Structure 1
């Protein structure tokens, strides 16, 4: 599987597109999914604001280059970087400094739906200009297609790098997964060699990511990274693997009924790893280009973060519906490229029922790891 070609959120603005999904896997949200982001963003905001404030106040640069890696295809993919810009503008006004110019780079894989993002750019720029007021200098936006496991920018050209809910995706499916026992990812039944292959692929990828960014960031440049992770030392723990185990159940049922070829399921694997904070820190120390400023793992989001919101329709309060719709937006490109389009509706119909049943009996959560780094 060529991950760089197929690993992207479902594009467009249709019913099952990522732009219209109840969003659990990203912190850039709007409409219904904004309700979930409102539970995550306040927890990461102090870290990002502290990092950006210290960056700006250390040199008062005439220009600031910001990269958002893994921006995906939401029309408001500009939200987080606009918060950075408004923060800097507020600080510079208080200190009587001239406004810097801003260069914002939005990155994702080439298969990402950049058109959906940039159709909303003119209205966003007009709104930002009004919010900043007189005295603010221009803000330029550029789309950068490519893998963040490779070089994307010139040497010493970036001041701030942000990535949210992207770095748990691996560059490719690990090798040596023949003994995975009917799973599509790590699971409680996975043998040790499967867990080892996934971890080693994460180590290789994250080290490469850090090396590339160390070359692209200026000295003293900052990074704030948030990724799905886990508290447990066990990489197959329920907090990080359960949602994929339930999807594997739906696929295995379809194999049993002859709707999917068993060989197809055996050869399908999810290219993802949810690390512990210790594993993230270990790779940073190993690479040696960055100082760990802050590392936190106290952000948890219930699978059904919308369930108590009165403004949502009953359909969206159905946990099975919202989680299955979100997972479809995330996983459909991977599934369709391997199994074909014909099975997709049936897979997620079954998956919705399985998830709804489990959520009626327990309250599973996603765990998030956030790390703030300084180059040098």
Structure 2
């Protein structure tokens, strides 16, 4: 690193932009699966709003938090508009207009996202009737762990695959040595500090949204979790980052990165157990918890699920290569901050090799996702 200043997460935590080989746009089919899997919950929320005595407002305000810049952002926007349109058609209601706010950190590739809007608008106008509610899309950059919108201005919040990312690296984990995450060899305080940081962040998220959402407004949130209370269970991503640590250790031996660079780096992410999430919602107190569920995803395969839950194979690249490209698309800006751009190709070549070896000798573990739907009291 060129400076001893500790980098701020808001400066580097964003997906790879553009449409290149390692971009999020190209390597996000699994995130598309997340949106498809929670679609039945979205449908029920929209039906519930339509059945409410007040129904839809003249302009339905929607915010997508952690939108990134690939096709999944507008895929979700299209889904929610279609569901509103369908229920309005069924009940012979006038469709609302839509004000959609796309939020992510300042480094997000909003330019690519905006560049895709003309195609989105053209397809929508072609596929739908003229009386379909008009849509206005704008960006709201900033951290969703703080305030983003005026009081009681949003009707529906959505976030997919984001809330396991923390607002900062947990404090007081300098004793984590050359581990880059909560490793099985980490001191006990490391897990406790990661857990505390998630609790603080998730509570801050709920506090901010509770002020911005209308009474009776809804949130649909999907994020990484784990299957049981053990922080080192197989679907907690611990194995993934331990393999990444091995890749970095190889590069220390080769003189490409230093031990001090590794010691300065810890991955700012935490996958909670569902009971932790339930408890935090209840303690914060502003929302009723309508749904709390978990599901597995085909994270390291190059498959996705269609609308009926059927797996569609995309191509035959190795699982290690698939995993490496996914992790690179989602973390390369962060890793460049700590290790430099020249090290990226070699880091991920090594990670690909270790991942292939790991998956060849162990049963593939599908990471777990938590989905919750909430209503403002």
Q: 1:157 to 1:375 in 2, by over 3 A?
A: same
Q: Which residue of 1 aligns with 2:243?
A: 246
Shift of 1:339: 1.2
Q: Does 1:179 align with 2:168?
A: no
8 Å contact from structure 1 (residues 190, 236) kept in 2: no
Mapped to 2, the partners of 1:159 and 1:239 lie a distance apart of 34
In structure 2, the partner of 1:221 is 217
CA contact (8 A) 1:297 1:368 kept: yes
Structure 2 unaligned residues grouped into runs of 5+: 1-6, 305-309
Please give the secondary structure, in 1, of the residue aligned with 2:335. Answer: helix
Match of residue 6 from structure 1: 12
- Residue 319 of structure 2 corresponds to 319
Tell me the SS of whatever aligns to 1:20: coil
What residue is the counterpart of 1:21 in the other structure? 27
Counterparts of 1:124-143 in structure 2, within 5 Å, are 124-143=120-139
Q: TM-score, normalised by structure 1?
A: 0.92
Q: State the Cα distance separating 1:237 from its structure 2 match.
A: 2.4
Q: Is 2:65–2:102's contact at 8 Å kept on the other side of the alignment?
A: yes
Residues 190-205 of structure 1: matches in 2 within 5 Å?
190-205=186-201
Kept in 2, the 8 Å contact 1:163–1:225? The answer is: yes
Residue 155 of structure 1 is matched in structure 2 by 151
Structure 2 CA distance for partners of 1:250 and 1:115, relative to 1, 3 Å: same
CA distance in 2, matches of 1:313, 1:290: 42
Contact 2:156 2:217 (8 Å CA) reproduced: yes
Q: Unpaired runs of 5+ in structure 1?
A: 28-36
The answer on whether the counterparts of 1:86 and 1:132 sit within 8 Å (CA) in structure 2 is no
- Number of residue pairs aligned between Structure 1 and Structure 2: 362
Aligned residue in 2 for 1:102 = 98
Please tell me whether residue 168 in structure 1 is matched to residue 132 in structure 2.
no
Q: Is the contact made by 1:7 and 1:334 (CA closer than 8 Å) also made in structure 2? A: yes
RMSD (Å), alpha carbons: 1.7
Supply the distance in 2 between the matched residues of 1:310 and 1:285 (Cα, whole angstroms): 38
Offset, 1:149: 0.5
1:30 is aligned to none
Tell me which residue corresponds to 2:345.
Answer: 345
Residues 219 and 320 (structure 1 numbering): CA distance in 2 closer, same or farther, change over 3 Å?
same
Shift of 1:302: 4.5
CA distance in 2, matches of 1:41, 1:113: 20
2:119 to 109, 123, 138: 123
Q: Encode CA deviations 1:248-288: one digit per residue, 9 max, x unaligned.
A: 11011212332211111011011101011111111111110
1:313, distance to aligned residue in structure 2 (A): 4.0
User: Residue 52 of structure 1 corresponds to which residue in structure 2?
Assistant: 46
- Conserved 8 A contact 2:145-2:204: yes
**Matched-pair contact (CA < 8 Å) for 1:55–1:222:** no
Q: Contact conserved, 2:226 with 2:274, CA < 8 A, in 1?
A: yes
Please, what TM-score do these two structures have when normalized by structure 2?
0.92
Q: What is the aligned partner in structure 1 of residue 231 from structure 2?
A: 235
Mean alpha-carbon deviation: is it higher for 48-57 or for 149-158?
Answer: 48-57
